[in-house]
C-alpha cells in the first residue's frame, strides 16, 4: 500500500538512505520468519479470545445485540492493545536514532554531508511506517469493517435510521448535515492512527537529540511509555465512568456539560483514536447525552491536521538540534 502512494523521493523504498535504515537490522532466516508468523498468529488468537471473554462478561451474556455491535465489543480491547503497542513502538524506533548512528561511527559522516542529517532523520521517521505497516494495516482493517457496518446500519428503517438517532439532539440538525458530520467521524477515525503514529515517531526523533546516551534514551522511552499508558488508561476509566453514570461532574453544576464534551473529545482523539464511536448506537447515545456532541467529529478531523502540522514542526526541530550535536 505504501508503494502505491505518491511519496516524496526521501520516503520511497528505493531511496538509498531509507534502504540503509531499513537494512540496518540483521537478516531474518526462514526459520525465524516461521517462528515469528506462528507467534503473531498465536498472539492474534489470544487477543481475540481475550476480547470475546470481555465482551461476553466471561461467557455469561451475548457479545452484542447485532453484527456491528458484536464486532466492536469483541475487537475493542485487542485493538486498544495494538494501538498502545504501535504508539510505544513508534517512539522506541526513533528515540535512539542519533545514539545508534554515533555507535556505528557514521554520525560525523552524516554531519559533513550536505543535508545528510535531514535525510537521515526523515528516513528514520518514514521507516517507522514501513516497519509498523502490518500492525497499522490491522488497525485500518478493523476500522474499515466497522465503517462498513455503520453504512449497513444506516439502511435500517428504510433509510431513516439516522433520522431516528439525530432526533431531539442538540444542536438540531437535518439528515444531510447529520450525514456530513458522521462522515467527519469516520474520516477522522481512519486518519488518527496514521497521524498519531507519525507524531509519536517525530517525538522520538526529538527525544534522540536530547537523550543521546543509550541509558538516557532507554530511561526516557520508559518514562514516556508509562505516560502514554497512564493517559490512555485514565481516559478509558473516565469514559467508562461517564458511560455508566452519564456525568463527569455533579448533576446541575455549570461544569457538567462542558466537562462531558471535553472528556468525550479528548477520549476520541487521544484515548482510542475514535474506535468506540464507530458504531451507530454508541454515537446516538453520545449525541443524545452530550449537547453538541455530534460536532466532536469536526474536532477529531481538525486534530488530525493539527497533529500532522506538529509532526512536521517536531521533525524540523529535531533536525536543527541534531545539526548541533557533536
Residue ranges of domains in the chain: 77-322
Please name which of 170, 154, 141 lies closest in space to residue 280, comparing C-alpha atoms.
Answer: 154
Distances (CA, A) of 96 to 120, 131, 189, 217, 281: 13, 16, 30, 6, 44
Q: What is the pLDDT of residue 24?
A: 59
Print burial letters for 259-276: b (CB count within 10 Å at least 16), e (below 16).
Answer: bbbebbbbbbbbbbbbbb
**Torsion from C-alpha of 132, 138, 140, 143, nearest 10 degrees:** -150
Contacts of residue 195, Cβ cutoff 8 Å, sequence gap at least 6? 304, 307, 308, 311
* 280 three-class SS: helix
What whole-number distance in Å separates Cα of residue 190 and Cα of residue 324?
37
The runs of H, that is alpha helices, within 154-245 are 156-159, 161-166, 175-210, 214-245
The pLDDT, as a whole number, for residue 272 is: 95
Residues in the chain with pLDDT < 70?
A: 1-5, 24-27, 246-256, 326
Q: How high is the pLDDT of residue 1?
A: 45
53 in Cβ contact with 61 (< 8 Å): no
Longest dimension (CA), the chain: 68
Interatomic CA distance for residues 318 and 94, integer angstroms: 11
Amino acid at each position: 500500500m505504501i508503494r502505491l502512494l505518491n511519496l516524496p523521493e526521501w520516503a520511497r523504498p528505493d531511496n538509498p538512505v531509507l534502504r540503509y535504515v531499513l537494512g540496518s537490522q540483521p537478516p531474518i532466516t526462514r526459520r525465524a520468519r516461521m517462528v515469528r508468523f506462528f507467534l503473531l498468529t498465536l498472539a492474534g488468537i489470544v487477543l481475540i479470545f481475550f476480547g470475546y471473554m470481555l465482551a461476553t462478561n466471561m461467557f455469561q451474556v451475548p457479545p452484542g445485540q447485532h453484527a456491528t455491535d458484536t464486532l466492536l465489543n469483541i475487537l475493542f480491547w485487542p485493538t486498544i492493545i495494538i494501538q498502545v503497542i504501535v504508539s510505544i513502538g513508534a517512539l522506541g524506533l526513533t528515540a535512539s536514532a542519533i545514539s545508534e548512528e554515533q555507535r556505528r561511527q557514521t554520525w560525523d559522516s552524516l554531519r559533513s554531508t550536505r543535508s545528510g542529517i535531514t535525510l537521515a532523520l526523515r528516513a528514520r521517521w518514514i521507516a517507522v511506517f514501513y516497519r509498523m505497516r502490518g500492525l497499522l494495516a490491522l488497525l485500518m482493517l478493523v476500522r474499515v469493517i466497522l465503517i462498513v457496518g455503520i453504512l449497513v446500519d444506516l439502511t435500517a428503517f428504510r433509510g431513516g435510521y439516522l433520522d431516528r438517532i439525530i432526533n431531539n439532539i442538540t444542536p438540531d440538525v437535518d439528515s444531510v448535515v447529520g450525514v456530513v458530520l458522521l462522515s467527519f467521524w469516520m474520516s477522522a477515525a481512519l486518519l488518527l492512527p496514521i497521524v498519531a503514529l507519525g507524531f509519536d515517531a517525530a517525538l522520538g526523533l526529538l527525544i534522540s537529540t536530547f537523550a543521546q546516551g543509550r541509558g538516557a534514551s532507554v530511561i526516557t522511552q520508559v518514562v514516556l511509555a508509562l505516560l502514554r499508558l497512564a493517559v490512555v488508561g485514565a481516559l478509558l476509566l473516565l469514559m467508562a465512568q461517564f458511560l455508566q453514570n452519564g456525568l463527569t461532574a455533579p448533576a446541575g453544576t455549570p461544569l457538567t456539560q462542558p466537562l462531558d464534551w471535553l472528556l468525550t473529545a479528548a477520549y476520541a482523539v487521544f484515548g482510542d483514536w475514535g474506535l468506540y464511536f464507530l458504531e451507530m448506537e454508541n454515537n446516538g447515545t453520545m449525541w443524545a447525552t452530550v449537547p453538541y456532541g455530534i460536532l466532536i467529529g469536526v474536532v477529531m478531523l481538525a486534530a488530525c491536521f493539527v497533529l500532522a502540522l506538529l509532526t512536521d514542526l517536531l521533525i524540523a526541530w529535531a533536525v536543527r538540534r541534531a545539526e548541533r550535536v557533536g
